[in-house]
Amino acid sequence: MPEPITFPRDFLWGAATSAYQIEGAVREDGRTPSIWDTFSHTPGRTAGGDTGDVAVEHYHRYRDDVALMADLGLNAYRFSVSWSRVQPTGRGPAVQRGLDFYRRLVDELLARGIRPALTLYHWDLPQELEDAGGWPVRETALRFAEYASIVGEALGDRVSSWITLNEPWCSAFLGYGSGVHAPGRTDPAAALHAAHHLNLAHGLGAQALRAALPARAQVAVSLNSAVVRAVSDDARDQDARRRIDNLANGIFHGPMLHGAYPADLFADTARVTDWSCVREGDLAAAHQPLDALGLNYYTPALVSAAPEGTGSRRADGHGASDHSPWPGSDDVAFHQTPGERTEMGWTIDPTGLHELIMRYAREAPGLPLYITENGAAYDDKPDPEGRVHDPERIAYLHGHLAAVRRAIADGADVRGYYLWSLLDNFEWSYGYGKRFGAVYVDYETQVRTPKSSAHWYATVAGAGELPGELVAD
């Protein structure tokens, strides 16, 4: 048998969730609607008309869920705060009942020896801020900084790991470009303006956190940076790859890590916007020192120049829409990458995770990296004895964790891995039809059942090593 693959002794083994996907209790303790409440209650927006109204009742079951994490041997948990639960209008003073929930959650985690990693924004903008213009307007970034200060002051004595934004690409381009995410708008210029104001919000939020938190606190951001590959070495295909890489990656890591947008991004999108939303001082504000960088990875992207006169084809894995989330790229074609796929239709390719890690090890040398999301959806079902066997997910996790360890061996400073997701949950526009959880949830009874992958992951986390060879479940 091959030797086990050993991880560093202080490596964090965690799982991740987000507020709207699991909490439920959407009308309790002062919470008001977010854009996802509005979107999911709009006919035709989500599969089966599903909403997060109940989700998996984590708001009332959090103690049991934390106990479950402890039983699985997790030493870290990444969760998000619902902005509209804490600051219902997106302005003004906090609702203490909302903050109290997160105080109780964090206290429960700490009592169980689990390190909390708090994400301030995982896509659930208060509806009142969207009504005032949403992320395409500058004011939203200013409001985010105020919100960051509120949460930082309330929980800074308990939480040492902070993440400003989760996947701002999705917030900007799926929310305002293709419209497959809340708020469901389809305006390419608005999507680009939203991206800029999310960069600004990150920087202002990081400043607000540093003013509110103890010096020991760690401030980071989680990006779903894409691994973009071209179908060939042809110059036109390579240029398509460059353009999509700028829209997927450079548009965020440029300002956040380097204080500048890629020079050719403005030229590529000039027919969409003049970028007048970028004001003097914005890029300096976005470029705040970070203590770590979170990377979310699921599958690579494969692109080419679209054959002339055919228009773009989109097999980019980001949902069906007549509107593209890639402004100014109508002549770029997206292709399904070859190989086995998950229930989402996403190709399984651990080499992409290794490639992504090594890119950011070069892009931001000296900056610690965390894999803040990685996982797979499968059509999980209990067997007659009530057990849930998911060998496909175990194979997926084994391959991707091996890629993480290879990156560490190649010199990358990767300090932790957060499995997406702890629980089956509301999967955005897919409703409850896609199960990413290591723990199966019966949505009728809310009974939790750890799947085979949860037990496997617990064994790996407890030993700090992967089996050298994957044994079928």
| Secondary structure of 225-290 as H, E, C letters | CCCEEECCCCHHHHHHHHHHHHHHHHHHHHHHHHCCCCHHHHHHCCCCCCCCCCCCCHHHHHCCCC
* Beta bridge mates, 441: 448
Angstrom distance (rounded) from CA 284 to CA 88: 30
Q: Please choose, from the candidates 214, 29, 178, 33, the residue with its C-alpha nearest in 3D space to the C-alpha of residue 104.
A: 29
CB 457 within 8 A of CB 473: no
Q: The dihedral of CA 320, 322, 326, 330: what is its sign?
A: positive
SS3 15: strand
Asked whether the beta carbons of 178 and 234 are under 8 A apart, the reply is: no
Residue 402 to residue 415: CA distance in whole angstroms: 14
Q: Exposure pattern of 309-339 as b/e (b: 16+ CB <10 Å)? A: eeebebebbbbebeebbbbbbebbbbbebee
Which residues are the active-site residues? 167, 373
| Token pair recorded at residue 24 | 């439920």
